[in-house]
Amino acid sequence: MLLGLLFMAASAPASANGQTTHAWISVHALAHLPPGELRDLLTREDLEPYLLNGTMFPDGGYAVGDDYGERAHWEPFQSAYLGWIRGQHDAPYDDEGAQHVAFLMGLASHGLADQVFDAMYMERSKTHDAALGWAEGESMDEATDVVYAQRVGPREPPEEWFPGAVFVSLFAEAQGYTVNEETMSEGMFWLSVAIAGVGVLSEQEDVVAEYERQFPWASAHLTDATVPGSPPCEGELVALYWQALWARLQGEDGFGERPYLGNAPADGAMGWPTTASHPDALLHVVVSRGLAPSSVSDTSVVVTDEAGQDVPVTVRVFYGEASHVLNIAPASGAWAADTDYTVDVPPGLLSFDGAAIESAHRFSFSTRPPPEPTPEPIKEAPGGCGGGAAAGLVVFGLSARRRRARPAHSAAASGKV
Ligand SMILES: [Zn+2]
C-alpha cells in the first residue's frame, strides 16, 4: 500500500506534489497581512476554497502534461487575469468578484513561492544535500512536501473551483494558447489526489525518515524563519506581494508603494558567510513585479565595503523573464572576512511589461561574527527574508513544486502581453 501511495503521489500525476506546502503558505501568509480591507476579504471563511484552489491551480498543468500550468505560474498570465477582474468587478468586491480576487491571490502566492523557494532555499540545498538526494536523482520538492506535512499536519483538498470559461478566454486572448475546461479540471483532480496522498505519506514514520535522509539540510530548516527561502520567510513575502496586487486591483499601474518586497540577509545581519562559491553567501532582493532581465546587469546592484570601495558583484534574475528574485554574488569569489557591507539598488529596474522602479533600496550586512557567535552564523540573521516581521513567530507551509526550466514560449517571451 505504501509503495502504491508513493507511486500515486510521486508518479501518476507527473508533477503533482508540493501542494500541501503551497496551501500552507497561503493560509499562513494571511497572518502577515495588516488589518484592513484586503485582510478582511482574504480571511472570509467562504473565500478560503477560492484562495486554496488558486494556490493549487498552476501545478495541475504538470499533472496532465499541459502547458497551461506553467503559464499560470507567471505574472504575464496573472496580470491578464488581474486586468480582467479590474474590468469586471470593483472594490469592495461584494459580488463574485471576491471569488476571483481570492483565486488570483492564490495563483500569485504559488508563483512567488516557487520563485523564492528555488532561488534561495533550493540553491542552498543543492550544495548542502549534494551528495545525497541531489546525487541520487531524488525530488527535493516531493521530499520537502512530505516532511513539511509531517511537521505542520496534513491538509484536505478544497472542493474544486476555477474560473473555467474566463481562463479559456484569457489563455486564448492574452497568450494565444488553447486549453479547455476539461483539461484544467483533470489537472485539479490530480492535485487533490496529491494532497491526500502526501497527507497519508506524512504519517508514515519510515517514509518521512527516508525523505529526511535524502535531503537532510532541506528537511532540517523548513520551519526556520531565518533561512532564506524557508516557508516562514516565504509567508512574509507573499503577504507583501498580495498588498502590491491589491493596489494594482485598485488602479495602481506601476510598482506601487513598496517595489522591493524584501531582501536576504535582513538589514543589519551579522555573521554572513564569506564564500561566493557557496550559496549560503548569496544575497537576494525580491521585487513586487516580474522583471525584464534586459533591465538588469551586474551594476543593477551596488555593493560597497566599509572603506567605501565598490565590490564587483554578479546579478542574476533567477528564472529570467518575469521573475521577481535577484541573486547577487561577489565577483571576486568571496566576501571579505570581518567586513561591513552596504547594498544599494538604484532606481531603474523594469518590469516585463515596462513599469519602472523609481525608488532606490538599501540594506547592510556584515561578515563580522555576531555578538554571540553560534556554529551556524546564517541563523543569526534576524528574519532571513528581510521582510521586517519578527522571525519565527509563525510556522508556514511551503511550495515544493517547481518549474524545471523557463519555457521559451511564455507570453512575455512571445510578446503577446
Ligand atoms: Zn508550482
Ligand 1 centre to CA of 372 (Å) is 39
pLDDT classification of 115: cutoffs 50, 70, 90 = very high
Residues of the chain with pLDDT > 70, as a percent, come to 85
∠ CA 244-141-106, rounded to 5°? 30
Cα(114)–Cα(122) distance, integer angstroms: 10
Task: Kindly state whether residue 353 falls inside one of the protein's structural domains.
Answer: yes
pLDDT classification of 6: cutoffs 50, 70, 90 = very low
Tens digit of pLDDT for each residue in 39-72? 999 999 999 999 999 999 999 999 999 999 999 9
Ligand 1 centre to CA of 406 (Å) is 12
Q: Position 320: which residue type?
A: G
Which one, of 336, 369, 363, 335, lies nearest residue 268 by Cα? 363
Examine the domain organization and report whether 68 and 114 are in the same domain.
yes
- As beta bridge partners, residue 329 has 314
Return the SS3 of 350. Answer: strand
Task: Kindly state whether residue 339 falls inside one of the protein's structural domains.
Answer: yes
The answer to whether 48 and 42 are in contact (CB under 8 A) is no
pLDDT classification of 326: cutoffs 50, 70, 90 = very high
The domain in which residue 260 lies consists of 255-380
Task: Kindly state whether residue 347 falls inside one of the protein's structural domains.
Answer: yes
Tens digit of pLDDT for each residue in 291-313? 999 999 999 999 999 999 999 99
Examine the domain organization and report whether 161 and 292 are in the same domain.
no
Examine the domain organization and report whether 184 and 264 are in the same domain.
no
Examine the domain organization and report whether 297 and 205 are in the same domain.
no
**Residue 395, C-alpha cell as written in the block:** 510556522
pLDDT at 371 (0 to 100): 84
Examine the domain organization and report whether 376 and 405 are in the same domain.
no
Q: Position 186: which residue type?
A: E
pLDDT at 340 (0 to 100): 98
Examine the domain organization and report whether 265 and 334 are in the same domain.
yes
The answer to whether 141 and 402 are in contact (CB under 8 A) is yes
If one counts the domains in the chain, the total is 2
Task: Kindly state whether residue 63 falls inside one of the protein's structural domains.
Answer: yes
Ligand 1 centre to CA of 195 (Å) is 14
Q: Would the pLDDT of 380 be above 70? A: no
Task: Kindly state whether residue 239 falls inside one of the protein's structural domains.
Answer: no
Examine the domain organization and report whether 200 and 339 are in the same domain.
no
pLDDT at 385 (0 to 100): 60
Cα(267)–Cα(244) distance, integer angstroms: 21
Examine the domain organization and report whether 120 and 191 are in the same domain.
yes
Rounded to 5 degrees, φ, ψ at 269 are -60, 140
Ligand 1 centre to CA of 287 (Å) is 19
Examine the domain organization and report whether 170 and 96 are in the same domain.
yes
pLDDT classification of 409: cutoffs 50, 70, 90 = very low
Examine the domain organization and report whether 90 and 218 are in the same domain.
yes
Write the CATH number for 279. Answer: 2.60.40.1220
**Residue 315, C-alpha cell as written in the block:** 546579478
Ligand 1 centre to CA of 408 (Å) is 17
Task: Kindly state whether residue 396 falls inside one of the protein's structural domains.
Answer: no
| C-alpha atoms less than 13 angstroms from C-alpha of 191 in its C-beta half-sphere | 33
Examine the domain organization and report whether 49 and 167 are in the same domain.
yes
Query: For the whole model, what pTM was predicted?
Result: 0.87
Which one, of 54, 49, 59, 56, lies nearest residue 158 by Cα? 49
CA end-to-end span of the chain, whole Å?
A: 47
Q: For the chain, what is the mean pLDDT?
A: 86
Ligand 1 centre to CA of 104 (Å) is 14
Ligand 1 centre to CA of 339 (Å) is 38
Task: Kindly state whether residue 106 falls inside one of the protein's structural domains.
Answer: yes
Task: Kindly state whether residue 234 falls inside one of the protein's structural domains.
Answer: no
Examine the domain organization and report whether 111 and 190 are in the same domain.
yes
What stretches of 276-382 adopt beta strand conformation (E)? 283-287, 302-305, 310-311, 313-317, 325-330, 340-345, 361-366
